[in-house]
Structure 1
Amino acid sequence: MADKMDRRQQRTKQLLYDALMSLIEEKGLEHVTVTDIANRAEVNRGTFYLHYQDVPDMVQQLKEAVFEQMRTIIVRIDPQQSIQYANKNEPYPVIIELFEELGKHADFYRVMLGPKGDLSYAIQLRKLISKNVYEKFNYLPRSNGLPVPIDYMIAFVSSANLGMIMHWFESGMSLTPREMGAMMTNIINFGPLTTFGLRDLPVRSPEDHEQMKET
């Protein structure tokens, strides 16, 4: 009986989720009401309130669940490991995993990051990427020791990565997670000009080749 009830609740929450996503695309997040969601899901308002307090509560619960799954992957991204894979002309596995996770929630990201979604969520994701980049490069000097101030570098990297993710959704995810992982690995490590073929790859030293063999 409990399993049957759990399946029924999961099905109801899926109906409510599908209704919310479609309504956001049509009306914009700020204009969606509980009545709209209940009518679209073909359930009564009481059923909605069994799961959520109101529309903002529903949206917040969804955002937190998806965000936490994303966070557990992003914190594992290691720039030094990424360099090793880029030198071998291979995509960094953690970035592939990132795009696989994004693909699992494609409808959610496409809607929430879209023009009628929630701008604050895009900002939250960018801050998550920025925080991770900053922590991984905390050994770098914070003043004039860098050709580009670290805060500008982090702003560029986080915004560029989020832009690639958003374009992937906008273009119908025509590239696989592995293809996206390979592209992002190269851009992160070699920059856009080299990745686009406008500059040659940097010449590797003998030490670099030895490091590639070891990995």
Structure 2
Amino acid sequence: MSIHDIMNFETKRAIKLALLVQIEKVGFERVTVKNLAITANINRGTFYLHYKDKFEVMEDLQQELLNELESYVKNVQPLDAFHSIKIGQLYQPFITVFQFIKEHARAFRIILGEQGSPAFSRRMKKVFSNHILDKISVIREEGLDPEFLQYFEAFLTSAILGVIQEWLRSGDENLNVEELAMIHFRLLRFIGNLASLQK
């Protein structure tokens, strides 16, 4: 990576961090390019070399988080996960997902919050749906029923995201990712028949 590339990367990172600061301070609707530039310690001309407006910054930040999240979620194998919980073992791929979210907790908390982007939660659910639901739907006959699949997707992705949002909202630093992963699957087992997806 050249010096120019490094400088561009650092500037864009500063702008994305500035966006988080401004959302937390005034809410996304009231964020301005002027305040983003001031917060990032750059001039407006420099801002426009990298982004056309605050919406493009938000899209870049969300896509960066979603791409990395997807790289971890795609390693989750639901049947292996449920089997691990049944025998009392932690499931490492899901722990890795939670670890990534914990490392970027501030960004996830702000964007998922009331002052952030309503669309982000839907996009996160889609990541979970694309890589987890597809692996479950072929296991049971109900998974072939479009109506069942629609509601099962809503249930499963909302359950996953709901636990993550509660964790982020509570700011519970005493709850580590391993404990959170165990709570997550205990909840899923308790709520319904997801454990019966195993053969």
CA drift of 1:108 comes to: 1.1
The offset of 1:136, in angstroms, is 1.2
The DSSP-based 3-state class of the residue aligned with 2:137 is coil
Figure out how many residues of one structure are paired with residues of the other and give that number.
Answer: 194
- Partner AA of 1:87 in structure 2: K
What SS does the corresponding residue of 1:77 show, helix, strand or coil? coil
Q: Which has the higher helix share?
A: 2
Q: Which moved more, 1:42-51 or 1:135-144?
A: 135-144
CA change 1:150–1:6 in 2 (3 A) is: closer
- Map residues 78-89 of structure 1 onto 2, 5 A cutoff: 78-89=77-88
Q: Residue 149 of structure 1: CA displacement?
A: 3.2
**Is structure 2 residue 39 aligned with structure 1 residue 40?**
yes
Is 1:161 aligned to residue 160 of structure 2? yes
8 Å CA contact 2:27, 2:116 repeated in 1: yes
> In structure 2, the residue corresponding to 1:124 is in which secondary structure?
helix
Matched ranges for 1:1-215 at <5 A: 2-3=2-3, 5-139=4-138, 140-142=140-142, 149-174=148-173, 175-188=175-188, 190-192=189-191
Q: Distance in 1 between matches of 2:78 and 2:2?
A: 46
Give the counterpart letter for 1:185 in structure 2.
F
What amino acid maps onto 2:71 in structure 1? T
Instruction: Kindly indicate whether the alpha-carbon contact (under 8 Å) linking 2:137 and 2:143 is maintained by their aligned counterparts in 1.
Output: no
The aligned residue for residue 197 of structure 1 is: none
CA shift for structure 1 position 159: 0.5
Q: Where does the alignment leave 5 or more consecutive residues of structure 1 unmatched?
A: 194-200, 203-207
Supply the RMSD in Å over aligned alpha carbons.
2.9
Unaligned runs of 5+ in 2: none
TM, length-normalised to structure 2: 0.84
Structure label with greater radius of gyration? 1
Answer yes or no: is the 8 Å Cα contact 2:69–2:97 preserved in 1: yes
1:15–1:128 CA distance, 2 compared to 1 (3 A) = closer
Answer whether contact 1:18 1:41 (CA < 8 A) is retained.
Answer: yes
Against the structure 1 CA distance between its residues 135 and 72, is the aligned structure 2 distance closer, same or farther, given a 3 Å change threshold? same
Assess if the C-alpha contact under 8 Å between 1:133 and 1:154 holds in 2. Answer: no
CA deviations on 1:127-157 (whole Å, 9 max, x unpaired) are 2223334311232224899xx9343233212
TM-score by length of 1: 0.79
Q: Secondary structure at the match of 1:18?
A: helix
Identity level (%): 27
Paired AA for residue 187 in structure 2? I
Q: CA distance change for structure 1 residues 132 and 191 in 2, over 3 Å: closer, same or farther?
A: farther
